[in-house]
Amino acid sequence: MSGHLFAGTSGFAYPRWTPLFYPAGIRAEAFLSYYAGRFPACELNNTWYQTPSRSKITGWLAATPPNFRFSVKGQRGASLRTLLKGPDESLPFLTDPIRQFGERLGTVLFRVPKEIPRDDNRLAALLARWPVDLPLTMEFQDASWLVDEVIDACRASGAAVCATELDENEEPPRLWVTAGWLYLRLRRSRYDRNEIEAWANRIVPFLEIGQDVYVFFRHDATGEATVRAAALTEAVERRMGVPPGEL
């Protein structure tokens, strides 16, 4: 049985995506339901800046179908305190609100900024205390973390390691299998057809062995990210010989 492809964009609440993606005249409160009719997942941006209220999460859940999945960026301040000062006090503040997503939670994206270099003890404390019912994806922005010891620690705890592609990267990022899903953030400012096809070629083998794959394109001014996400989905479906929406 193949894994599921959860392709989409980082964020959805962008009025300037009209008319390339959102139809003219659409109201802001209808953005998410329209988005969810075209993509199976979204990486939430605003949860990085503030903890979402119960009413906001309730609204997100109501606007999307049961098979839709949310990637929730861990709130910035609580994430930093959890990593740098220890998880005892800050971890519940970070994770308790996220439980409201229930089975609609794809994963929590825990971002470690590039200003923070590798620290095995701090990582070990975080992984040891992380709630087992909340799927965890680690994004290490400083290259010092991307070593075998850190990858092995994430694998042992069942946390995924995010692969992030940026404009300054000369080569596509390495992919690690450390959990039951693969997580990709494709954040270059441009992707041509050949680059989309190349990513489809890399993704398909993971789906074929049963890995779920989350892949999110960086939001942009006009909505080109949605075009890229749709093109990647179509390319993967074509390679796997499945009808649209089957993955």
Each residue's pLDDT tens digit, 7-63: 999 999 999 999 999 999 999 999 999 999 999 999 999 988 888 999 999 999 999
Q: Which two tokens stand for residue 93?
A: 């503040």
**CB neighbourhood size of 1 (10 A):** 6
CATH of residue 184's domain is 3.20.20.410
Quote the pLDDT of residue 178. 97
| Degrees, nearest 5: CA angle 201-205-207 | 110
Band (pLDDT 50/70/90 cuts) for residue 241 is confident
What is the overall mean pLDDT for the chain? 95
Q: Is the pLDDT of residue 200 over 90?
A: yes
Count of structural domains within the chain: 1
Chain segment 120-169, per-residue pLDDT in tens: 999 999 999 999 999 999 999 999 999 999 999 999 999 999 999 999 99
Enclosing domain of residue 87: 5-240
Quote the pLDDT of residue 242. 82
Task: Flag whether 86 is in a domain.
Answer: yes
Q: How far apart are CA 80 and CA 93, in angstroms?
A: 12
Quote the pLDDT of residue 227. 97
Quote the pLDDT of residue 223. 96
Radius of gyration of the chain (CA): 18
Task: Flag whether 245 is in a domain.
Answer: no
Quote the pLDDT of residue 170. 87
Q: Is the pLDDT of residue 194 over 80?
A: yes
Q: Is the pLDDT of residue 89 over 90?
A: no
**Mean per-residue pLDDT, 209-226:** 96
Helix (H) or strand (E) holding 193: helix 193-208
Task: Flag whether 33 is in a domain.
Answer: yes
Task: Flag whether 150 is in a domain.
Answer: yes
Task: Flag whether 193 is in a domain.
Answer: yes
Residue 10: closest CA among 59, 48, 53 = 48
Task: Flag whether 246 is in a domain.
Answer: no
Task: Flag whether 156 is in a domain.
Answer: yes
